[in-house]
Amino acid sequence: MLLPSVPTINALVVGATQGIGLAFTQQLLADDRIRHLFGTYRSEQTAEELRKLASQYPSRLHLIRMDIAHEEQIEKGLVAVKEILQGGSANAPNLHLAINCVGLLHSEQQQPEKALRQLNSENLLTYFQINSVGPALLAKHLLGLFRHAEPSIFATISAKIGSIGDNRIGGWYGYRASKAALNMFLKTAAIEYSRRSPKTIIVMLHPGTTDTRLSKPFQRGVSPEKLFSTERTVTQLLSVLEKVTIKESGEFFSWDGSRLPW
Ligand SMILES: NC(=O)c1ccc[n+]([C@@H]2O[C@H](COP(=O)([O-])OP(=O)(O)OC[C@H]3O[C@@H](n4cnc5c(N)ncnc54)[C@H](OP(=O)(O)O)[C@@H]3O)[C@@H](O)[C@H]2O)c1
């Protein structure tokens, strides 16, 4: 059971519009212990599925606009979360779970680089902005919502490809390096949180290859049993989160609960 000592859980999914984030939103809504669930989106164009869900669960699912490439949107979005949790009273705005599912591998403007000659400063900075800096700023602004007496978890979806020790085939410079930087940012944040919010566990999770927009162009060589549905990935990651302890804060886990090398 997730956070067994917490009777009612308030949770946030960052990047809830599709892929793994949307599946987390769906599975968390099916759990009666989740009281308030916040799902973030960055544009109306991609938020259609999330809007449909919000109309099914009007009192539990709250939509928050947040492009994590803009710190002011992170800050404003989390102020909105706090206000809803306070519900107009002086109640403590306790958040218990935040899962950041935002990530960029390819877009209309950029593709992962196979060779050094394809490196381009602007594209590299975009990878870092979304995959590394955004999550670090989330850790900065979430601290106030996590500083309470109950246990809590801040999980970010990283990627095994960001493991320096596991890098055997090269390629995908910007994505790899930005996920390695993400891991370092959050490992460092976990150390600071252990002093300032000692009941919060911070973890980085590798979801396994999952059938989403992000992996679509690269699924050709993946055998069907190694390509997870988003539902399966979320079930697996939730079971990792059910088992993590405060002593493991700052660690990097794979979907099966094993620890990954930095
Ligand atoms: N799928 C895999 O096989 C796989 C493997 C390893 C790691 N991962 C990691 O898993 C996480 C989830 O990926 P996914 O496969 O679910 O990808 P996805 O289907 O492409 O979803 C990515 C999500 O990130 C959001 N997003 C992108 N840029 C954003 C920004 N600047 N601000 C706010 N939200 C933004 C997207 O919003 P829009 O809908 O508006 O675009 C979408 O909700 C990522 O961190 C990815 O690196 C995935």
Read off the pLDDT of residues 112-149 as tens digits, 9 standing for 90 and up. 999 999 999 999 999 999 999 999 999 999 999 999 99
Q: Ligand 1 in contact with 46 (CB < 6 A)?
A: yes
What is the Å distance from ligand 1's center to 159 Cα? Answer: 11
* Position 88 pLDDT exceeds 70: no
- CATH of 9-254, picked from 3.30.70.890, 3.40.50.10490, 3.40.50.720, 3.40.50.300, is 3.40.50.720
Our mutation pick for probing the ligand 1 site, out of 13, 18, 183, 216, counting the most ligand atoms within 8 A of Cβ, is: 18
13 lines ligand 1 (CB under 6 A): no
Structure confidence at residue 177 (pLDDT): 98
Residue 13 has pLDDT above 70, yes or no: yes
248-259: pLDDT as tens digits: 999 999 999 999
Answer whether 43 contacts ligand 1 (Cβ < 6 A).
yes
Average pLDDT, rounded, for the chain: 97
18 CB near ligand 1 (under 6 Å): yes
* CA–CA distances in Å: residue 245 to residues 199, 200, 209, 255, 258: 10, 10, 25, 16, 14
Decide whether any atom of ligand 1 lies within 6 Å of the 82 Cβ: no
Tell me if 227 CB under 6 Å of ligand 1.
no
pLDDT in tens, 181-215: 999 999 999 999 999 999 999 999 999 999 999 99
Predicted structure pTM score:
0.98
45 CA closest ligand 1 atom index: 40
Mean pLDDT computed over 18-26: 98
Residue 132, ligand 1, Cβ within 6 A: no
Q: So what's the pLDDT on residue 138? A: 98
Ligand 1 mean position, distance from CA 214 (Å)? 7
Indicate the top mutation candidate among 101, 141, 219 to test ligand 1's pocket, ranked by most ligand atoms within 8 A of CB. 101
> What integer is the mean pLDDT of 175-179?
98
Percent of the chain, pLDDT > 90? 97
* Centre of ligand 1 from the C-alpha of residue 100, in Å: 9
Using CA positions, which residue lies closest to atom 10 of ligand 1? Answer: 157
Question: Which residues fall within 8 angstroms of residue 42, CB to CB, at 6 or more apart?
Answer: 17, 65, 66, 67, 68
pLDDT digits (tens, 9 = 90+) for 31-84: 999 999 999 999 999 999 999 999 999 999 999 999 999 999 999 999 999 999
Longest dimension (CA), the chain: 57
d(CA 215, CA 25): 20
Domain boundaries along the sequence of the chain: 9-254
CA distance 174 to 111: 10
Please tell me the predicted confidence (pLDDT) of residue 90.
Answer: 63
Cα(222)–Cα(217) distance, rounded to whole angstroms? 11
d(CA 34, CA 16): 16
**Count of positions (residues) in the chain:** 262
- Per-residue DSSP letters for the chain? --STT-SSEEEEEES-SSHHHHHHHHHHHT-TTEEEEEEEES-GGG-HHHHHHHHHSTTTEEEEE--TT-HHHHHHHHHHHHHHHHTTTT------EEEE----S--SS----SSGGG--HHHHHHHHIIIIIHHHHHHHHHHHHH-SSS-EEEEEE--GGG-STT--S---HHHHHHHHHHHHHHHHHHHHHHHHSTTEEEEEEE--SB-STTTGGG-TTS-GGGSB-HHHHHHHHHHHHHH--GGGTTEEEETTSPBPP-
